[in-house]
Homo-oligomer: A and B are copies of this chain.
Amino acid sequence: MPDSAAVANPVNVGVVGAGRIGTSHAELLARRVPGARLLAVADLRPGAADRLASRLGCRAVANPAQLFEDSDIEAVVIAASSEAHTELIVAATAAGKAVFCEKPMGLTIADVDQAIEAAQAAGVALQVGFNRRFSADFAAARQLVVDGKIGTPQLMRSLTRDPGLANPGGVPPWTIFLQTLIHDFDTLLWLNSGSNPTTVYAAADALVAPEFKDAGLLDTAMVVIKFDNGAIATAEASFSAGYGYDVRGEVFGSAGMATIGDVARTSMRYHSRDGRLADTVRSDVELFRDAYTAEFTEFTDAVRGRREPTVTGGDARRALVLALASVESVKTGLPVSVVTIDPS
């Protein structure tokens, strides 16, 4: 729970993007994050921002620039399309706004570096939406690593399986690496922090919607990452998990092992002639509601100077390196050497 200052002096926030995840973020900011006060939402699509704003009791604007020009707004949460992230970060930070940006922060290293530099130059907080770090399940495993209960990580796993592709035609190429596995890359880097990845090998295919393969849409992927402390990790994703939204992880080390994640929605188990059944989680919004809330709480705390953001532009950069190396590996069919990254 945030302390009283959060409530007494909430951060005035604007949200850029009223799509699926922008809507969820706006709702959480309006209703579950006491340290935030949602002032406005922006979306270029006619009506999208209006509907959301009307529902949440805040203002709607079409152009994000209107948020940046608004002196009442202290911070923006960017949940627009990935290609626009860099430009939006540069504009927002130039206007002195603190920025929370959904992953991926950018689609090229140059873009990411530009965003990082812009925030540094403006002296504002920049946080990236690697929400899994804020889930109690993943955080418990990370704590074991920090406490030495795992020892040196040796084998790791992170996976994301999504319930399905409603519209494969609308998905940009390499999405599975840049948008989905970027989460798993961050999870693995975080669980094995202090060590650097050295080699990436990726296998991927279009098994769900093969007709979109030529357009670059891959829906099934497996990535192997070797680290300089000896750890070997896999990151795995699929866009066709009809059984639910499945995010799990595992870290095995010299002293112990942790498994993370469960697709069961509640503790209730139903027993009938057909066996024992558990309901499953259906979406990221359902699985990670508390984690999203926690990351926004950290962000508003960071804006108020009460703590440093723990998920930085550098983290976005490190995960992107693995995503780009995966793309390269799929293109060449070969392992790709990862340039050494400063883990700081």
Contact = CB atoms under 8 A, between A and B. Distances in A.
Interface of A: 1-4, 7-8, 27, 30-32, 34, 54-57, 136-138, 140-141, 144, 149, 152, 154-155, 161, 199, 201, 203-205, 207-208, 220-222, 224, 226, 230, 232, 234, 236, 238, 240-244, 246, 252, 254-280, 333-335
Contact of A154 (B207, B269, B334): B207
Given A7-B31, A259-B271, 12 more contacts: A4-B55, A7-B56, A154-B220, A155-B236, A199-B203, A242-B273, A244-B271, A256-B270, A257-B272, A271-B280, A275-B279, A275-B280
Given A31-B7, A268-B260, A201 B279 contact: no
A8 B240 CA distance: 39
A222 B220 contact: no
B56 A30 contact: no
B220 A230 contact: yes
Contact of A137 (B138, B154, B203, B266): B266
A260 B271 contact: no
Given A4-B56, A155-B238, A266 B27 contact: no
B232 A205 contact: yes
A149 B243 CA distance: 12
A329 to B, nearest CB: 9
A55 B3 CA distance: 7
Contact of A207 (B152, B222, B271): B152
